[in-house]
Structure 1
Amino acid sequence: MSLGVYVINLDGSADRLAAIAERLGAFGVEFERVPAVDGRKLDLSMLEDYDDSRAERYMGRALIGAEIGCYRSHLAAAARFVASGADYGLVLEDDVVPLCDPRQLLTQMAPVLDALDRQWILANLGAHRTLFGTRVSSFTVGTFTSTLQAAHYFPVLTRAILWSRRGAEAFLAGHDKIFAPVDNFFRHWLTRHGHGYALWPAPFTDAAFGSLIYAAGRSRG
Structure 2
Amino acid sequence: MRRSEKVLKIKEIFDRVYADAKCSLDYTEPYQLLIAVVLSAQCTDKRVNIVTQTLFDKYKTLKDFADADIDELAEAVKPCGFYKTKSRNIKALAQKIIEEYGGKIPDTMEELTALPGVGRKTANLILGDVYGKPALVIDTHAIRLTGRIGLTKETDPKKIEFDLKKFVPDDYSIHFCHQLVWHGRAICTARSPKCEICPIAMLCRYYEKTYLKKGD
| Structure with bigger RCO (C-alpha 8 Å, 6+ apart) | 1
What TM-score does the superposition give when structure 2 sets the normalisation length? 0.26
Structure with max Cα Rg: 2
What TM-score does the superposition give when structure 1 sets the normalisation length? 0.26
